[in-house]
Amino acid sequence: MNSNYVHRKWNTLFIDLGIVVVRSNAMIFKNIKNIWLFGLILLLLNSCYSNQTSKTLGGIEEMSILEEVKERKWLNCGVNGNLRGFSYAKLSEIDMTKIDNDSNIPNNNILQEIGKSTVGFDVDICRAIAAAIFDDPNAVRYRFLDTQERFEELSSKKIDVLSRTTTWTLERDVSIGIEFAPIVFYDGQGILVQKNSKVKSLNDLNVKVICVQTETTTQKNLEDEKKKRNLTFQIKPLQKEKDVYRLYEKGECQAVTSDRSQLAANLNSLKNPDEHIILSETLSKEPLAPAVIDSDLQWVEIVRWIVFALMEAEELGINRNNLEQMKGSKDPKIIRFLGLEATGDSIGSRLNLEPDYAQRIIRHVGNYGEIYERNLGPNSSTPIERGLNNLWNNPKHRGLIYSPPFR
């Protein structure tokens, strides 16, 4: 655990205890036993504090994640690896026999080729983080993860960031030791069926078989809807995403349900995409966000404000093409955002990053809108209307993409 985080918690605890002492002063001195008990509690707490700080004094304190990333010279990022538009590895020209899904692969050339061939919306979030830290968007090594292993990989620190179309839920937020970054894609659960099936909604799938991937919010939502509507369809849970669509194409299930974005991404991989349709019905809210472990507050803040920087850049009208021109702006917001202030107290320095960290992101990766257009825009392989993923102040279609002030 980061020592600064421990110290803050300790100081907060002592402040709280001080308030208790002041407010309970009369009670304590009326009963001598309370003095003895309170003193014992303070001794025990001091022992805990000594154990934590001794790690620092003895030189055995764990490095912060930022320090680890800088020392190894690359970011470890967990992605899907097989979801067009979001994270897809074009590995056809790489000798797969030389590749292992382990962070200690000896062949760095192979790793670099994999990194360059991996593209998508989620991948660009990883690249933005690498750009902010190293001024190099390619200083990333990807781990291709399924839904079952993604959280374990994060909690065991095999990856620094999980950027894998992951839904932010209360259970995940409070129970498994992770912290979500800002929502990068507002999604909802949809249903994929054959066009000639005459199915218009979930109700029409009663007594049918629906394929779904296990250990996902999708499966839980489907189970809830089945109970709520008193339907009798069969849920066929499958571990591998590819098996979900394989059985669907074989006719062993009459529908697939998943996030609408994932259905759209997988639709084009079917043999005859035009023979299938995603129903207009939306079964749930699915806010998708990157995630990090919650034990390093500094790293949480770094990833959070890198993601916000993508959104703020689009709102300020700063993109890859006009970055150099915008550096000459007189707008205080732009000056502050780009780290051009004359004072040493820049936004970047407060995050333990370089003052120009936002410039690095825009120069190498672009703003949020550019990332969306490149990977999910109308001319991409996976066109998805922005809808709720427009900026909050878009005059034609107001969305939910919104950054707190950079000040």
Residues 101 and 26 in one domain: no
Instruction: Please state, in angstroms and rounded to a whole number, the distance separating the CA atoms of residues 44 and 54.
Output: 15
Residue 397 lies in a domain: no
pLDDT digits (tens, 9 = 90+) for 287-328: 999 999 999 999 999 999 999 999 999 999 999 999 999 999
Residue 172 lies in a domain: yes
Counted domains in the chain: 3
Instruction: Please state, in angstroms and rounded to a whole number, the distance separating the CA atoms of residues 164 and 78.
Output: 7
Residue 126 lies in a domain: yes
Residues 88 and 178 in one domain: yes
Answer with the one of 253, 284, 315 that is the final residue of a domain.
Answer: 284
Residues 33 and 108 in one domain: no
| pLDDT reported for residue 102 | 53
Residue 213 lies in a domain: yes
Residue 177 lies in a domain: yes
Residue 108 lies in a domain: yes
* H-state helical runs in 107-166: 108-117, 121-134, 150-155
Which domain CATH number covers 242? 3.40.190.10
Residues 48 and 90 in one domain: no
- Averaged pLDDT, 111-128: 86
Does the pLDDT value for residue 113 go beyond 90?
no
Answer with the one of 241, 260, 284 that is the final residue of a domain.
Answer: 284
Residue 404 lies in a domain: no
Residue 90 lies in a domain: yes
Residues 178 and 314 in one domain: yes
- Give the type of residue at 101: N
Q: Are 312 and 337 in contact (CB under 8 A)?
A: yes
Q: Domain span at residue 92?
A: 68-182+289-389
Residues 155 and 217 in one domain: no
Mean of pLDDT over the chain: 85
What are the structure tokens assigned to 73, written together? 């010279």
Residues 275 and 313 in one domain: no
- Averaged pLDDT, 15-32: 37
Residues 221 and 295 in one domain: no
Residues 103 and 154 in one domain: yes
| pLDDT reported for residue 222 | 96
- Averaged pLDDT, 244-249: 96
Answer with the one of 11, 33, 57 that is the final residue of a domain.
Answer: 57
| pLDDT reported for residue 343 | 74
- Give the type of residue at 298: Q
Residues 305 and 372 in one domain: yes
Residues 39 and 75 in one domain: no
* H-state helical runs in 195-281: 217-229, 241-250, 260-267
DSSP annotation of 386: -
Nearest by Cα to 123 from 94, 88, 157, 93: 88
- Predicted confidence band at 342 (pLDDT cuts at 50, 70, 90)? confident
- Ramachandran region of residue 366, left (φ > 0), alpha (ψ -120 to 50) or beta? left
Residues 98 and 142 in one domain: yes
